[in-house]
Structure formats: C-alpha cells, structure tokens
Amino acid sequence: MRGPHNIIRLVRTLATFERTGAIGVVLEAFDAPPRLRFVARVLGWPFKWLGLRGDPALPPATRALTALGPAYIKFGQILSTRPDVVGDELALQLKYLQDKLPPFPVQVAKDMIAAELAMPVDQVFSAFSDPVAAASIAQVHRATLADTGADVAVKVLRPGIEKAFRKDIDAFYFAAGVIEFLSPAARRLRPMDVVTHFDGVVQGELDLRLESAAAGEFAANTADDAGFQVPKPIWNFSGRTVLTMDWAEGMSMSDNVAIDAAGLDRNKLATRVLQLFLQHALRDGYFHADMHQGNLKVAANGDIIAFDFGIMGRLDEYTRRVYAEILFGFIRRDYRRVAEVHFEAGYVPADRDIDEFARALRVVGEPIFGMDATRISMARLLAYLFEVTERFGMETRTELILLQRTMVVVEGVARGLNPQINIWLDARPVVESYIKDNVGPKALLRDLQKTVLVLARFGPKLPRLVEAQLVRQSQPQPVSLKPKFWVPMVWVILGAALALSGVFLGQSL
C-alpha cells in the first residue's frame, strides 16, 4: 500500500491546510522562516482545490486537522498542550481536539456494544446516555449496570477507525521513505523507525482489550500514590471495541475556572502532575503516555484522575537509570556529566568531542535556571536542541519517543495550571529519590544479587555444558592463538556466585 498514490494524500494534506486557511496560522505560530513560508504557499496554492473543506464553523487549524483524520488529530492534541510552542491562541483552538469532536449516533454505539458483548444493551445497562466525550478514536457514554446499579463509563471505538488510521499511517510511511531517500542527513532521525513505532502504538490503542489490561496494571502500580486515582476496568463487559470502566467524577484538568471555584491550589496540582509522571516512569518503568488535559480530571477532593490508557510507555531498568542521570545532571547543572551519560549510553557517536557536546548542552539548560518561566521560549530551546542532535550525529532513540513526547505534553499540562512552573525544580525531589535508591552502592548490591540468582538457577546445567565444551575441545581444532582458560573460570564464577548468594540472600536490601 505504500506506493506513489500516497503522493496525492500528502499533496491533499498541504492543500487542505491552504484551503482552510490553516497554513498561515500554523506557519505564524511556529515562527517559520520566510523561505519556508514561501515554499509552503507556492506548493499549496495550485492544489488548493484538492483540499478537504472541513467544518467551516471551526477555527482554521482545528478545521484542517479534523478533516484530515485521526492521525492528524493526535498530532493536534499534543500541540494543544504547548501554548509556549504554538502560542496561546492556537493552543486554545486545538483543545477542541481533546474530547469535543463530533460524536457518532448513539444507536450505532449500542449496535457495536451488542455485537461485541453478544447480548442486548438493555440487558447489560439499565441506563445509557448520549456521548459525554468524543475524541479521535472513540467516544464515551455514561451508563448504569443493570445488575449492580453502579455508574460506569462505556468507551466505544469509532466505526471504521482502523481503516482510517491505516490510510494515514500508510501515507506517513511513504513520506518517511521519501525523506530518507532524498535527505541522507535526515536518516539519523530514523523517520521510518519513528513511524513504525507510532504504528505499533496506534494498533495497540485500537484494541480496547489491551487498554483494559493497561488500566489494570497501571491501577495496581499506582494504588498507593497519594492524590491519584485510576478507574478500574470491568472485564466481563469489555472487548476489542468496547471498554467498560468505573465512572470517574471530576472537573476537566483544562477548566481553571472550575478548579479555582472549587478552592483547589492549581500550583500544587501542576507540581503533582509532573511529579506523578516522573514517579511512574522512573519507579515503575510504566507510564501513561497520553497525559493531555482531555485524559485527566480533578476530583472534588483535589485528586488527579487519569483515564484513557490506550497509549502506555515502558522503560527497562537500564534506560530508566540513564534517563534519571541525564535529568539529575541538568538539575545540578552538571553538563559534563550529562554529556558523559550520553556517550556511555551510546546516544552520541564515540568519535565526537565530549567537551563540545557538554558546552552545547549548557546552552540548552542554562536559560531554564534563574529565569521567570514565562520568559523561557520552549520553542527556541527545542529548535536549538534539534540543532545539537544534528551537529553531533545523534540518532533518534525509538524506545524514548513516548517518554520524550509525554514529557513535553505533561509540561504543557502543568504550565496550563501554573504558567510560572519550573519543571527542573519540581522534578528534583523525584529524581534525587530515584538516584539515591537506584544509582550507587545500594543498586550495585541489588544487581549483584540478581546476577547471583541467575547463576544459581543455571547451576544444575553447568556441569553438562562444561563437559560438552571439553569434549569439543578434545577434538582436533584449527590452530588458534586465543587462550582456552575460560572453562575452569566457569567453576570459579559458580563458586563465587554460591558464596555470594549466601551473603545476599540473607540480607534485606
């Protein structure tokens, strides 16, 4: 499917932005250079008639993105959380994309539920409302369970959403291939891998059974987190296209007027949003990766309620330590250590100058410290950071895409509550706590214990492995200058492992 026909889709994208008047708004919001503005208008104007019309009642950018489809809407949702990048006016317009998209008919939702659960809707729910929220992939209804009388939220996928996403992502693959072919310098950004990663994430979001599992795991991980709630899924009334969960009552995280009227401290809420995200990413290695305002509520008691678990991120233990050390280095303004961590993790090619890289990182970090947060241009910082990655040949790390994207979104949510927030200062306690427990002697002892347990588990197999190796070595072999002292070393390692296990297994780390 990734053929030249996608050229038409990409031309239509540009033509849609031209026809709806969004192209000028977007270029202005991003402060695009004159040359780029000229090229965009020249390429878009001749094909304006090919563009989609969209809903004339909507603002230009929102009109264009909703007309183009769900993948574009997802992109708009991310931008809606960053007024410091796209400007207050455009960010406000794009908030429409979070949960106020046109719903599909209630009867269609009921038919889909009946087909998925193999029973009439009236038999499952004694009450079923009109849509209370509609987003790019699904819409939500409030309902009452017939057997228990409990209020629940019922999420139903949009009809034909899989096909619509497939078309968009197919065009993205084509565009990524064209970029890699025409611009060898852009290959370090691995556009094809990025689209592949996005494709995998979306496919998981289109199966609500996976979201049910994610909600259950996330709820278990965060059960003891003060001021945080996760509605639990109701498995027997959920399936691939339908998800039933506990109802969560609260104000929208974007409704500052309602939050203020409830007497809640928005500054504390902003700090808690940021710190909870970091705790989940660093402590659990499992975090909500779609934390825009449309997926967050504030309960009357001030608790933050998260929902919509279609996009979740995972980090292995090593990556979490690297990420924490990078954050901690920025917090301490130790740019040399930040540079060293990048080199140690292989994020920067070893042939580059570490001192030059540290100096470039200082330019990224220093504007954040000692300055009013409202005066920091995040767009300018991101642009410079992109220049740094290009200059030092850094490749895109697909395993960090969700983490980086979510960090940007969460910061945008926090700034929406408290424009004065400084993410580095609020992140410090969480990162310091993680560093204390996971980087240093305490962590080394835990790592040794795990190594010992693995060696002990394979202990019964070692004699046979060694015997087989000795038999192979007794046979005629080609002349080799490599020493063969490693076989006896297996027994030394095993002995040391067993000795250490007696020490470590008797301790409480």
- Residue range 341-362: average pLDDT? 88
Confidence band for 380, pLDDT divided at 50, 70 and 90: low
Which contacts (CB < 8 Å, 24+ apart) does range 445-450 have? 445/504, 445/507, 445/509, 446/509, 448/500, 448/504, 449/501, 449/504, 449/505, 449/509
Biggest CA–CA distance in the chain, Å, is: 85
Annotated active-site residue 290? The verdict is: yes
Please say if the pLDDT value at position 9 is more than 50.
Answer: yes
- What does the domain layout of the chain look like in residue ranges? 6-99, 162-203, 248-439, 442-504
Amino acid 498: pLDDT = 40
pLDDT at residue 376, rounded to an integer: 59
Q: What confidence category does residue 67 fall into, taking pLDDT thresholds of 50, 70 and 90?
A: confident
CA–CA separation, 211 and 240 (whole Å): 9
| Residue bearing the bigger pLDDT, 16 or 221 | 221
Candidates 282, 259, 311; CA nearest to 74 is 311
Which of 170, 225, 290, 426 is catalytic? The answer is 290
Three-point CA angle 14, 94, 255, nearest 5°? 180
CA distances in angstroms from 73 to 154, 197, 313, 375, listed in the order given: 22, 18, 20, 29
Can you tell me the distance from the alpha carbon of 158 to that of 134, in angstroms, rounded to the nearest whole number?
9
Higher-confidence residue: 337 or 443?
A: 337
By mean pLDDT, which of 23-32, 109-118, 119-128, 367-376 is the weakest? 367-376
Name the nearest CA neighbour of 231 among 217, 218, 245, 210. 245
Distance (Å, rounded) from C-alpha 394 to C-alpha 361?
Answer: 13
Q: In the chain, pLDDT over 70 holds for what percent of residues? A: 76
* Average pLDDT of every residue of the chain: 79
pLDDT at 60: 87
Q: How remote is the C-alpha of 265 from its chain's centroid?
A: 27
User: Which tens digits make up the pLDDT trace of 497-508?
Assistant: 444 444 333 433
Q: If pLDDT is split at 50, 70 and 90, which confidence band does 157 have?
A: very high
CA–centroid distance for 501 within its chain: 38
Mean pLDDT of 316-333: 85
What is residue 480's predicted lDDT score, i.e. its pLDDT? 47
* Concatenated DSSP letters of 237-288: G--SSEEEEE----EETT-HHHHHHTT--HHHHHHHHHHHHHHIIIIISEEE
Is residue 409 within 8 A of residue 254, CB to CB? The reply is no
- Please provide the size of the chain in residues: 509
**pLDDT greater at residue 241 or residue 102:** 241
